[in-house]
Amino acid sequence: MARVGFVMRLKPGNEAIYRQKHDEIWPEMVSALHHYGIRNYTIFLYGLTLFAYYESDDPSRVTAQRDDPIIRRWWQMMQPYMDYNADGTPWSEPIAEVFHLD
């Protein structure tokens, strides 16, 4: 099982709407995340920095989500609130795990 962490960024003033969208996450989005092997997914907010963490038995499977129409639709909806890449994906930067305690 892999633990994956990464950071993303909110645009100023979008903290509340970002939280609201996740409070109202679509059931089909949850199903899509599970389909790609993502579980125990958590996002933390620190200022405008989002720290995301999930677990997966096969992280290479997660990359296939980029082409999923449900995931793409979610990303399109979230684009006004976050920093994005030119290809329509949320900007993110992987971070290295330096400690874990079970």
Domain parsing of the chain, residue ranges:
2-95
The answer to whether the predicted template modeling score (pTM) of the entire model surpasses 0.75 is yes
pLDDT digits (tens), the chain, 102 positions: 999 999 999 999 999 999 999 999 999 999 999 999 999 999 999 999 999 999 999 888 888 888 999 999 999 999 999 999 999 999 999 999 999 999
Tokens matching residue 20: 């609201």
> Which residues, other chains included, contact 56 with Cβ-Cβ below 8 Å and sequence gap of 6+?
1, 2, 4, 36, 37, 38, 39, 62
Query: What was the pLDDT predicted at 60?
Result: 85
Query: What was the pLDDT predicted at 25?
Result: 98
CATH fold of the domain at 2-95: Alpha-Beta Plaits (3.30.70)
Q: What are phi and psi of 90, to 5 degrees?
A: -65, 135
- Mean pLDDT of the chain, nearest integer: 96
Query: What was the pLDDT predicted at 50?
Result: 98
Q: Which residues are catalytic?
A: 22
